[in-house]
Amino acid sequence: MDLALSSDQIAILDAIDSLAKPYAAAPTHEAGFAMVSDALDRELAEGGFLDVAFDPDLGAVSAALIIERLARLPYAIEAAASALVRPLLGDDVSRPLCLVMEGKHARPIRFLKAGATVIVTGHETVSSFTVSQDQARAEDTLFGYPMGTLLIDPATVAMPCPDVSPEAVLVRWRVGLAAEAAGLLAAALGSTATYVTDRQQFGRPLATFQAIRHRLAEAQVRTNGVYWLAMKAAGTLDPGDAALAALHAQESARATVYDFHQFLGAMGMTLEHPLHLWTYRLKALIGALGGRGAQGLAAADAIWG
């Protein structure tokens, strides 16, 4: 057991931090529900950051670290599927990647737009297709991601990916979800902690009231747990580990999101404050992959048979 980052991983995260610096401080004034940046996305892709898991020496843990770090930015970046699931399919697959459960394609899909690759995961098979202009409609949602709806049934256009196992896709999907949630939780927690430290009421910072301190401390415990379960699952790629990580991520998002907004009072209801850019992404992740119930059952089956 050795939980230290390798020198390569430290270098990659440093590089991401300097690349992302202009975007971390991006103006968030009335940002809308989701913020995207094509320039940031291009820089990440060109820098090869989303390709690390193709390199067996760096592997899925490095990808998970990158996903976690990028999720802390106010911008929504399609990193999880690209960095973790794309290595199963090949590096010629066009981004963004949109992961869909078979039979659930009617719901809004994160990052869906023309040119995206849709990966449909069923019980037995995985299939994919590239979305054309007339197959997708952009959706105006409350979630912190750009989203779209498919106007066709994927079964009519998707081509099978015979070498890709649905189980492997699900494992990496869950790991990516957990790693992304860890970053979102960390950023939302940090943003809330800063606010309650600065905001004074009754002659003292809100952060000195124990009711707030303890709930934020519990959020820290959860955030830390989600981070480590995500990293471990990336390290083992074990179905049970992945399902536990995703379950803990969704449960922790559910348990904290309303507290974060609560502690900002009315400021937390505005689009001026960036908190929603993280929490409304977390809300989207809570419902991914069938929600907590599906992760829980998958975990129970993987662990206890």
Q: Interface with other proteins by CB under 8 A: which residues?
A: 1-6, 9, 61, 189, 193, 196-197, 204-205, 207-210, 213-214, 216-218, 220-222, 224-226, 228-229, 231-232, 235-236, 241, 243-245, 247-248, 251, 292-293, 295-297, 299-301, 303-304
> Which is nearer to other proteins, 222 or 276 (by Cβ)?
222
For residue 21, the minimal CB distance to other proteins (Å) is: 22
The residue among 122 and 205 lying less far from other proteins, judged by its C-beta, is 205
Task: Supply the minimum distance, in Å, between the C-beta of residue 43 and other proteins.
Answer: 26
Q: Which of 95/222 has CB closer to other proteins?
A: 222
Nearest by Cα to 245 from 194, 175, 151, 189: 175
Q: Please, which residue, 55 or 163, has the CB nearer to other proteins?
A: 55
CB of 250 to other proteins, least distance (A): 10
Q: How far is the CB of 267 from other proteins (least distance, A)?
A: 17
Which one, 147 or 249, has the nearer CB to other proteins? 249
Distance CA 241, CA 230 (A): 8
Which residue, 104, 46, 103, 44, is CA-closest to 73?
44
How far apart are CB 277 and other proteins at their closest, in Å?
20
User: Residue 142 gets which letter from DSSP?
Assistant: S
- Give the nearest distance from C-beta 57 to other proteins in angstroms: 12
Diameter of the chain by CA atoms? 65
Non-local CB neighbours of 96 within 8 Å, separated by 6+ positions? 78, 81, 82, 111, 113, 116, 117
Cβ-based nearer residue to other proteins, 122 or 225:
225
* Pairwise CA distance, residues 59 & 232, whole Å: 12
Beta carbons within 10 angstroms of residue 39's beta carbon: 11
d(CA 186, CA 223): 6
Closest CA to 285 of 250, 260, 247: 250
Nearest to 141 by CA among 115, 117, 111, 114: 111
Task: Report the residue count for the chain.
Answer: 305
